[in-house]
Structure 1
Amino acid sequence: MDSLTQEKVRPLSLNDLGVAPSEATLESFFSDAEEESGVETLPESHPLLVRVRSALDMGFAGVILAGPPGTGKSWYAKRLAHTIAGHSDAVRIVQFHASYQYEDFMLGFAPSDEGGFHLQKKTFALICDDAAEEPAVQHVLLIDEISRCDVARVFGEAMTYIETDKRGHEFTVASGGKMTVPPNLIILATMNPWDKGVDELDIALERRLAQIDVLPSRLELRRLLEAQGAREDIINRVERVFDAIQREQNEMVRLGHAYFLNCVSEEGARLAWELRLKHFFQKACRLDKATFERIEQIWFREFPPLAETAAPPEAGPGSENERESGPEPANGAEPNSTVTTEA
C-alpha cells in the first residue's frame, strides 16, 4: 500500500463541488433576514401589549401566550418581543421540540478545529451575556412552542434564577462554571394548551411566568376574510360554522380563525375542508365520533359537497348497451355498413 502523503490536499470550494448557492438563493436568504429584522411593532394602546406590560409590572419573569392552533400566538409574540425590546438585536427566538435538551439551550459541547470538543454557550447563556453587556436595554427571549419539551430539564439550574427576585444571583451550571440571569431579560413564550407537556409545564413555570389566553376570534376571522376580498355571503357562512365550532363541549375542536384563511370562495372553502379542516377535526375527535359527524354536518350545510358524476356501467357481453348498438364493426368499417369478403 502506498504511504500517505504529508502534503495538504487541495481545498475544494462549494463551486468546485457544484453545490454553491445561486444568486436567487442568496437574494432570498438576505431578503428574509432583512424582513425578520424589520418586524412591525404593536401600538402601546394594543390590549395584548397592555396586559403583557401589566404582568411584567406585577413581577412576573415573562409571559406565556396560550391558545389553540391558528389564533396568531406566534404572530403576536414576535411583535410583542420587538415592541418591548430595546432594539431588534436584543431579541432572540428559539423553538422548542420533543428532542430539545439542556445542551441545546444552556451549554453544550461542540467539535473544535483541532479534532476535539469544546464547551459552547447556547441560546439562553448567550442572551444572558447580551443583556449583561447592555444593562440599560431590555432583552427578550422568545420561546415558540414552549410546551413541546421537558421544560424543567431544558432550563436546568436556570429555572430557579429566572424569578425576578433571584436575578443577578450567581449560580453554578452543569459544567462547573458560574452564570447569572440579568434583571433586564424577559421571557415570552407560546403554548398550545392541549400539548402533552402542558401539565408538567404548569408545575415548573406557574409561579414564574404569567399566562395570557389568545383565543379564537370571530372579529379577526371577519377581518382576515374581508382583507382577501371574500364576499359577504361567504363570510357569513364561514362565521356560522366558526360560531358552532366554538360552542362545542370538546374544547380540542375549537381551532383558531387562521385555519379559515383560505375560505374566500366556494371552491376555496371546499378545498380548505378537504385538505386541512377535515383532518384536524378527525384527529381532535378520534375518541368522539359523534362530535366529528356533527361538525361535518354543520360544514356541509353551509358548503355542500359537489355532486359526484356517476360513471356509466361498463358494457359486457349480452349487455343492454351491446344489444342496442349491435356488434363492433369489423376492419374499421363504418357502423351499419356491409362488410364483404372475396370468395
Structure 2
Amino acid sequence: MSLNNELVTYAMEYPPSMEKVQSLEEARDQFVTRFPLDSLGNMKVEEYASINSKDTFIYWLERKGILAGIGGGNSSKFGIYHARDGHYYKGYGNNKELLEGDLLQEEFSKLKDFIVDAIQLAKEDRIEEISSNKIMWDMVLIKILEIYVPDKFLDICSRTVLIPIAEDIGLDREIFLRDTSSVRINAEILKVLKQQKPFNSWDVFAIGTFLWNKYQVDKKTAYWVMGYTYSTLGSQLHDFLDKSVVGTDFLSDIDFTDSLDLTLEELENKIDALASEDKAKKTLKAFFRMRQGDYVALKSTYVKNGKSVLKISAIGVIAKDPVEGYVHDSQLGHTLSVEWLNQIEVEHVGFGYMRRTIVKATKDSEISAIFGSVAKNASIDSLKDSKVSNTTPLPFCDRNRIMYGPPGTGKTYHVVDAALSILDPARYEELKELNDRKKMKDAFRQYINKGQLIFTTFHQSYAYEDFIEGLKSDKHGGFAPEDGVFKRAAIEALYYGLDLNPTKEEQRDTYPLKKDKVMRALQANDVFHFEHAERVVVVIDEINRGNISKIFGELITLLEEDKRLHEDNETLVTLPYSRERFVLPPNLYIVGTMNTADRSIALLDTALRRRFSFKEILPDPEVLSNILSEIQLDEMLAKMNQRIEVLYDRDHTIGHAFFIHVQNLDDLIHVFHNKILPLLQEYFYDDWEKIGLILGGIGRGENDAFIIYEQTIPLNDLFRSGSSLTSMTIKKEYRIKKTITEADLRAIYE
C-alpha cells in the first residue's frame, strides 16, 4: 500500500521531538512499574477504581498525564467505576447498574479477564479477535494496550483522529472503517506505516507523536461570563472566591449528583421537567455545559453615565468536569470547582447586554476584551479526547426522515449532523462533543467526494425521469433509458452489499461496472451482505415542493420498512423504461428538508407521511444572544414569533438564521428592510395592522418609535370638489420607515 505523498513529505520536514518521545517512554515505564502485567489478574476493585485514592489504575490512566489523553465522556468508559455515593456501578443513564457484594466481584473478575485476554491477544498478533463487547470504551482499551503492548499500538486513542489517518493511507480500501473497532484501526495504521519510509526507521512513540501533531482535534475552549448575585441571598462574590467555586441557586433544593451520569440531552430534559421558569432552565443548562479547561469570569451589569457596563471581578478556569467537580452546597446550591487566575475588577463599557445569569461569550471582540492575555497565557491542559460511542445500526424507521420547520431555522445546517450520524455514528458523536464544526464539514465533504452522500432539490418541474429513470437522447436519433439520481444511489448502496472485502480494483469500479455486477446478482438471486456495508445517504432539499407521487412513482411502495432487500416482505419491481429489476437496499437512507411556510406537514401526501419519520426544527433565539450590544436580538426574535403564533400559526414563524450573520446595527436594519419586512408582507397579505402588531405597534406619525406608522391623506387636497371621494375627507395609509433606528427596533420587544 503506497502512502499519501503529502504525509511522507510532512514526515520528512517535521519529525517529532526525540525529547518528547523519550518522556512518553519514561511515563509508560512508570505505569508498568506501578501496575505490572502479572499483577492485573489479582487486582482488587478498590485498587482499580476507588475515588478515595489517587493511586488507582483508573486514576493513573486518566489523570497522571501518561501517554494519550482519554478525558471527557463519563466514568462508565472504564467498565466499572466508583461513584461519589460510595457505591460501584457499570453503565450510565438508564443503563446504570448498581454493583455490590458477589455481583461486584463477579463483574470485576470479568473485566480483569477481558483486559488480560486483550493484552495476550495483542501480544500474539490476534488483534482482530479483540472485541470490547461494550465492557469498556475503545479509547480506554487502546490506552491499556499501548501501555502493555507498545510495539503494536500508536499513542492515539481518539477515533476522530484515527479515521482521517486511516483514510489518508488508504486503509479504508482494505477494511470497512465504520464497523471496525478503534483498537484494530489503530493497530492496522501502525502496520501500514512501519512498512514504509521514513516510518520504518522510527520508534512507535515517534510515529504516534508525529501523527497526533498533524491530525489532532483539540477540544474548543469555551468562555463563560457568570453572575454571582442570588435571588434571596444577594452577592456571593466573596464566597465564590474564598471557596474557589462558581455556583447557581436555581432549584437549589435538588441535588444533581446522581444525574451526572446521564447524557447531556437526558440531563437537560430532566431540567426542563423540574424547572418552571425559562430563566432557571437556561441557567442550569449553561452551568452543566461547563467543562474542565473552560474560562469563567464573574460579572455584574449596570448603567453608568447613560451607557451599559459589564464589570468583571475575577477570572478563572473550571478545574473539573461536572461529573467530577460538581458539589451540591447547602448554602451556594450547585457549584463547580474553579482555579482563580486573577481577582482584578475591570469595567467594560458597551458589554452590559450580557445580563443573563450565565452567558457564553462567542465573539472574538468579547473574548479579547474580557479575558485578554489571561486566556492566551494560562497553562491549561486540553482535553484531546472524548466519548466514542459504540457503533450500532439505526432503527429501520429512521432510514427515511424529514426535518421540517419555518424558513431560516437551519434545516440544511442540521443535514450535516443527520448525514454524519448515519454514515459514521462514532465519529459524529466525538466531533459533536468536541464542538468542532469545521471538522464536521470536512468529514461531510469527504463523504460527498466518495459518492456516499448525494444532494438533490425537488421543485415543481422535477419528475420521475430525473429521480428514478427516463428516456434521454442517445445522440444517434433515438432514445435510451438513463438512470436518475435516486436509482444511481440505490445501485451504489447495493454494490456495497455485494462483497465484504472488495479488492482494490473493485474499489475503483466505474458506475456502469458496479451496476452490471449488481444487476447480475439480482438476476441470479445472489445473497447480499449489508451487516457491515458502507451506507449511502440521499439528501432531498425542499422535499415538499415536488409532486411526490409523480417523482417517486412505484418506488413509494419500496420505501416501507418491510419492503427493502432481505426484509420480510422484500419487494422487487420492474422499472418502466429500462425493464430492469429494482429493489431498495437497507443501507440506503433518505434525509429530506421541508419548509412549513410553503406547505404544512398536515397537507403532505399521506403515503409519504407514513413512510417517513419527522423532526421539527424550530427557531432558536438563544443562539442570537449577545450578538449586538444595542439590541437584544434573542428577545426581539422570541417576541416577534410569539405574536406570529397568535396572529397566524407556528409554521410561519421567523428562523434565527436570518440574523445569524448580523455583526452590527446596520446589518440588522438591512435584514429587516430586505428580508423580514417582505416576508411579513407575504405572510399577512399586506395586512399592515397585523404586521404592525408583530413589530411592536404602529406609530401615529413618522417620528414615533415604530417601524410601521400611519399616514393620513386629506382627500380634499387630492380631488376636485364635487367628487364623491371628497366627502370622506381623510384616508389612512400605512408606511414603512425608510430609515429604521435603534429605538424602532427596541420597540419590538421592550
Q: Does TM, scored on the shorter chain, surpass 0.5?
A: yes
| Cα distance between partner residues in 2 of 1:216 and 1:177 | 45
| Cα distance between partner residues in 1 of 2:413 and 2:396 | 24
Correspondences of 1:87-98 after superposition (within 5 Å): 87-88=447-448, 89-98=451-460
Secondary structure class of the residue paired with 1:130: helix
Question: What residue in structure 2 maps to residue 191 of structure 1?
Answer: 594
| Cα distance between partner residues in 2 of 1:257 and 1:99 | 30
| Cα distance between partner residues in 2 of 1:302 and 1:153 | 53
Secondary structure class of the residue paired with 2:397: coil
- Residues 92, 73 of structure 1: CA spacing in aligned structure 2 closer, same or farther, 3 A cutoff? same
Question: What residue in structure 2 maps to residue 214 of structure 1?
Answer: 617
- The percent of aligned pairs where both chains have the same amino acid is 27
| 1:245 and 2:640 correspond | yes
Question: What residue in structure 1 maps to residue 276 of structure 2?
Answer: none
Question: What residue in structure 2 maps to residue 280 of structure 1?
Answer: 679
1:266 to 665, 671, 675: 665
Question: How far apart are residue 302 of structure 1 and its match?
Answer: 12
- Unaligned residue ranges in structure 1 (runs of 5+): 1-44, 48-52, 306-343
Question: What residue in structure 2 maps to residue 159 of structure 1?
Answer: 556
Question: How far apart are residue 293 of structure 1 and its match?
Answer: 1.5
Deviations 1:256-282 (A, max 9, x none): 001123443222222111111110111
- Residues 94, 232 of structure 1: CA spacing in aligned structure 2 closer, same or farther, 3 A cutoff? same
| 1:150 and 2:547 correspond | yes
1:173 to 559, 575, 586: 575
Question: What residue in structure 1 maps to residue 537 of structure 2?
Answer: 140
| Cα distance between partner residues in 1 of 2:396 and 2:667 | 45
| Cα distance between partner residues in 2 of 1:289 and 1:190 | 31
Secondary structure class of the residue paired with 2:481: strand
| 1:85 and 2:423 correspond | yes
Deviations 1:163-190 (A, max 9, x none): 1210022112222332110111111000
| Cα distance between partner residues in 1 of 2:547 and 2:485 | 16
- Residues 92, 302 of structure 1: CA spacing in aligned structure 2 closer, same or farther, 3 A cutoff? farther
- Residues 304, 199 of structure 1: CA spacing in aligned structure 2 closer, same or farther, 3 A cutoff? closer
Deviations 1:115-165 (A, max 9, x none): 322100001110110000002111111100000011122101110011121
Deviations 1:93-127 (A, max 9, x none): 11001111111101111112323221000011101
Question: What residue in structure 2 maps to residue 338 of structure 1?
Answer: none
Secondary structure class of the residue paired with 1:120: strand
Question: What residue in structure 1 maps to residue 464 of structure 2?
Answer: 102
| Cα distance between partner residues in 2 of 1:263 and 1:141 | 32
Question: What residue in structure 2 maps to residue 203 of structure 1?
Answer: 606
Question: How far apart are residue 285 of structure 1 and its match?
Answer: 1.0
- Residues 59, 275 of structure 1: CA spacing in aligned structure 2 closer, same or farther, 3 A cutoff? closer
Using structure 1 for the length normalisation, give the TM-score: 0.65
Deviations 1:207-255 (A, max 9, x none): 2110000000012223xxx5xxx43333x1x223211112121125411
| Cα distance between partner residues in 2 of 1:187 and 1:177 | 22
Question: What residue in structure 2 maps to residue 340 of structure 1?
Answer: none
Greater shift after overlay, 282-291 or 206-215?
282-291
> In 2, are the aligned partners of 1:269 and 1:303 still within 8 Å (CA)?
no
- Residues 279, 188 of structure 1: CA spacing in aligned structure 2 closer, same or farther, 3 A cutoff? same
> In 1, are the aligned partners of 2:409 and 2:655 still within 8 Å (CA)?
yes
Secondary structure class of the residue paired with 1:247: helix
| Cα distance between partner residues in 1 of 2:690 and 2:662 | 22
In the alignment, residue 540 of structure 2 is paired with which amino acid? I
> In 2, are the aligned partners of 1:149 and 1:197 still within 8 Å (CA)?
no
Question: What residue in structure 2 maps to residue 123 of structure 1?
Answer: 485
> In 2, are the aligned partners of 1:59 and 1:164 still within 8 Å (CA)?
yes
In the alignment, residue 127 of structure 1 is paired with which amino acid? A
| 1:59 and 2:428 correspond | no
The alignment of Structure 1 onto Structure 2 pairs a total of residues equal to 250
Question: What residue in structure 2 maps to residue 73 of structure 1?
Answer: 411
Using structure 2 for the length normalisation, give the TM-score: 0.31
- Residues 242, 285 of structure 1: CA spacing in aligned structure 2 closer, same or farther, 3 A cutoff? same
Superposed CA RMSD in Å reads: 3.1
| Cα distance between partner residues in 2 of 1:96 and 1:62 | 16
| Cα distance between partner residues in 2 of 1:56 and 1:147 | 25
| 1:231 and 2:593 correspond | no
Greater shift after overlay, 164-173 or 207-216?
164-173
| Cα distance between partner residues in 2 of 1:154 and 1:199 | 20
Secondary structure class of the residue paired with 1:142: strand
- Unaligned residue ranges in structure 2 (runs of 5+): 1-262, 266-390, 425-446, 498-532, 566-570, 708-750
Question: What residue in structure 2 maps to residue 39 of structure 1?
Answer: none
Greater shift after overlay, 60-69 or 277-286?
60-69
| Cα distance between partner residues in 1 of 2:539 and 2:392 | 18
Question: What residue in structure 1 maps to residue 117 of structure 2?
Answer: none
| Cα distance between partner residues in 1 of 2:623 and 2:421 | 21
Greater shift after overlay, 111-120 or 54-63?
54-63
Secondary structure class of the residue paired with 1:143: strand
In the alignment, residue 606 of structure 2 is paired with which amino acid? I
Question: What residue in structure 1 maps to residue 332 of structure 2?
Answer: none
> In 2, are the aligned partners of 1:56 and 1:62 still within 8 Å (CA)?
no
Bigger relative contact order (CA 8 A; separation at least 6): 1
> In 1, are the aligned partners of 2:597 and 2:652 still within 8 Å (CA)?
no
> In 2, are the aligned partners of 1:253 and 1:285 still within 8 Å (CA)?
no
Question: What residue in structure 1 maps to residue 181 of structure 2?
Answer: none
